[in-house]
Amino acid sequence: MSGLHEECGIFGIWSPERSALAETVYYGLYALQHRGQEGCGIAVCDDGVITVHKDVGLVGEVFDHLTLTGMPSGNMAVGHARYSTTGGNGRRNCQPLVVNHQKGRMAIAHNGNLSNADRLRSELELSGAIFHTTSDTESIAYIITKNRLTCGSIEEAVQRTMDTIEGAYSLIVMSPTKLIAVRDPFGFRPLCFGRFPDGSCVVASESCALTAVGAAFERDLEPGEMLIFSDEGVRSDRSHCGKAPHRICVFEYIYFARPDSVIDGVPVHDARLRAGRILARECPADADIVIGVPDSGLDAALGFAHESGIPYGIGLIKNKYVARTFISPGQESRTDKVRIKLAAVQTTVKDKRVVLVDDSIVRGTTGRRIAALLREAGAKEIHFRVSAPPFLHPCFYGTDIDSEDGLIANHRTIEEIAQQMGVDSLGFLPTGSLEELCGGAGCCKACFTGEYSTTVPASFRKDKYDIPLSGNAE
């Protein structure tokens, strides 16, 4: 129910034998679909020829049986899932981005956001570049292409590109002969790899995708690491490792990632249980039952229950059929959207003092309506606990908080927020507990603290280059 969105999930596979890799990518993208529901695509490389299919929509919408089985076999493939916006003005921004250049064709899948994207794009434009998309991935493609003109290999060109681009990027680059995976030196976004028994190697945003396709998790890519998969096997290039502190996005643990994933050694479900336990210690509540907002608030709710000793209950049911095609009730409708999406379980909350746990509050609207649903079902008291600190600053690394506007926590005290949401008490996770939540790993928490790891642009709007497009076209 969060208003937050991750930017993407990526998945790559390299196989010693030509086989139906698009199918494996398809299942891998299903496992990464939570990272992006706007659009998706799969590019297959078959003997140097790259074929791509991509469009706006969920994996199950973009790939029907004919399309999937119509993809050629190959020995490399890369897939991408992109996050869902309202307008869907984005076929042109779907990935993998596939471009032709002097050395042939190249496919790129990107998770993250460059913090110097504007400057890079301006420089490229001043050299006569034309842009077909509005994403910073196209700038990356340009820079790799330019570097490739003077570099001896595609991996050298990518390495040199890492000297120029700044910010968050987990990348998979597929050339006619190599599959290259890169994680930025801060490690803002996750990226891991695994193997199949037959020697095929898989790279994915989250380990849940490896498990889903039946591959064995091998390890996370180190921040700054590049892996090159080719006929010569797997090679690791750590030239950019250690050049920056580890800054995995803490929100991967709190909300974005699937609970069964393990990121940089820390199981996501554990991190959320810990968040709940911390909340129970730091913001206790005198209550009869602890419930979570499904799905992402459930783990922290369970942690809160375990730590506090207050029983865990199932107090909210999520309608699992409300998807992209759902028609939201209009203003004059007597129906309320949240009421369709969520239902209170009366017997759990009636006449109870309820601890309600959710992963975050952005604008507070949904939380207020959930509180109202619980009141209507008879809840006596509602103690809202949030398994993240309050958002105060924009994110430049791939989360869609692109300005401070609309953040309910700005310029409001906790009491004011609680009152606005209609809850009896409100508690946030203390910023100081984030490292504990992450299991000690160095994490990026700039959206809470405003302390950014890179230079950041003076202004920032993710849709800066977006020109209105009609329908889903282009």
Catalytic residue positions?
Answer: 8
- The yes or no reply on residue 380 touching its own copies (CB under 8 A) is no
The H or E element containing residue 331 is: none
Residue 470 is given by DSSP the state S
Give least dist CB 350 to its own copies, A.
9
Give least dist CB 464 to its own copies, A.
11
- The yes or no reply on residue 458 touching its own copies (CB under 8 A) is no
Give least dist CB 213 to its own copies, A.
6
- The yes or no reply on residue 66 touching its own copies (CB under 8 A) is yes
CB 52: neighbour CB atoms within 10 A? 19
- The yes or no reply on residue 151 touching its own copies (CB under 8 A) is no
Residue 317 or 432 having the CB closest to its own copies: 317
- The yes or no reply on residue 241 touching its own copies (CB under 8 A) is no
Q: Is the dihedral of CA 345, 348, 351, 353 positive or negative?
A: negative
- The yes or no reply on residue 372 touching its own copies (CB under 8 A) is no
Closest CA to 291 of 310, 270, 275: 310
- The yes or no reply on residue 378 touching its own copies (CB under 8 A) is no
- The yes or no reply on residue 311 touching its own copies (CB under 8 A) is yes
Phi, psi of 128 (to 5 degrees): 100, 10
- The yes or no reply on residue 142 touching its own copies (CB under 8 A) is yes
Closest CA to 80 of 64, 102, 58, 113: 58
Q: For the chain, first and last CA: distance in Å?
A: 30
- Taking CB under 8 A as the criterion, which residues in 167-226 touch its own copies? 196, 208, 211-214
Please give the size of the binding site for its own copies, defined by CB under 8 A.
105
Stretch that binds its own copies, among 18-26, 109-117, 155-163, 224-232 (CB under 8 A): 18-26
Exactly one of 3, 88, 259, 457 binds its own copies (CB under 8 A); which one?
Answer: 259
- Taking CB under 8 A as the criterion, which residues in 313-352 touch its own copies? 313-314, 317, 319-323, 325-327, 329, 333-336, 339-340, 343-348
Residue 134 or 360 having the CB closest to its own copies: 134
CB burial readout 217-254, b (16+ within 10 A) else e: bbebbbbbbbbbbbeeebeebeebbeebebbbbbbbbb
Stretch that binds its own copies, among 5-13, 136-144, 237-245, 417-425 (CB under 8 A): 136-144
- The yes or no reply on residue 86 touching its own copies (CB under 8 A) is no
For residue 192, the number of C-alpha atoms closer than 13 Å in the C-beta half-sphere is: 24
| Token reading at 133 | 């998309």
The H or E element containing residue 229 is: strand 226-230
CA 293 to chain centroid? 19
- The yes or no reply on residue 125 touching its own copies (CB under 8 A) is yes
| Token reading at 375 | 């009141």
Stretch that binds its own copies, among 253-261, 358-366, 423-431, 443-451 (CB under 8 A): 253-261
Stretch that binds its own copies, among 144-152, 275-283, 399-407, 414-422 (CB under 8 A): 144-152
Give least dist CB 242 to its own copies, A.
29
Exactly one of 156, 295, 381, 435 binds its own copies (CB under 8 A); which one?
Answer: 295
* Residues forming beta bridges with residue 104, ordered by sequence position: 101
DSSP 385-442: EESSPPP-S--SSSBS--SSTT-TTTT--HHHHHHHHT-SEEEE--GGGHHHHTTT--
Exactly one of 35, 53, 383, 393 binds its own copies (CB under 8 A); which one?
Answer: 53
Exactly one of 17, 47, 70, 236 binds its own copies (CB under 8 A); which one?
Answer: 70
Give least dist CB 437 to its own copies, A.
14
- The yes or no reply on residue 233 touching its own copies (CB under 8 A) is no
Exactly one of 260, 381, 404, 424 binds its own copies (CB under 8 A); which one?
Answer: 260
- The yes or no reply on residue 257 touching its own copies (CB under 8 A) is no
Residue 184 is given by DSSP the state -
- The yes or no reply on residue 117 touching its own copies (CB under 8 A) is no
In terms of C-beta density within 10 A (0-12 exposed, 13-18 middle, 19 or more buried), how is residue 320 classed? exposed
DSSP 368-398: HHHHHHHHHTT-SEEEEEESSPPP-S--SSS
Q: Could you give the 3-state DSSP secondary structure of residue 141? A: helix
> Which residues, including other chains, have CB under 8 Å from residue 332's CB and lie 6 or more apart?
none
Give least dist CB 239 to its own copies, A.
23
Give least dist CB 306 to its own copies, A.
7
Exactly one of 16, 99, 151, 195 binds its own copies (CB under 8 A); which one?
Answer: 99
Stretch that binds its own copies, among 184-192, 228-236, 255-263, 406-414 (CB under 8 A): 255-263
CB 130: neighbour CB atoms within 10 A? 8
Phi, psi of 111 (to 5 degrees): -120, 120
Contact flags string 349-368 toward its own copies, x per CB under 8 A: --------------------
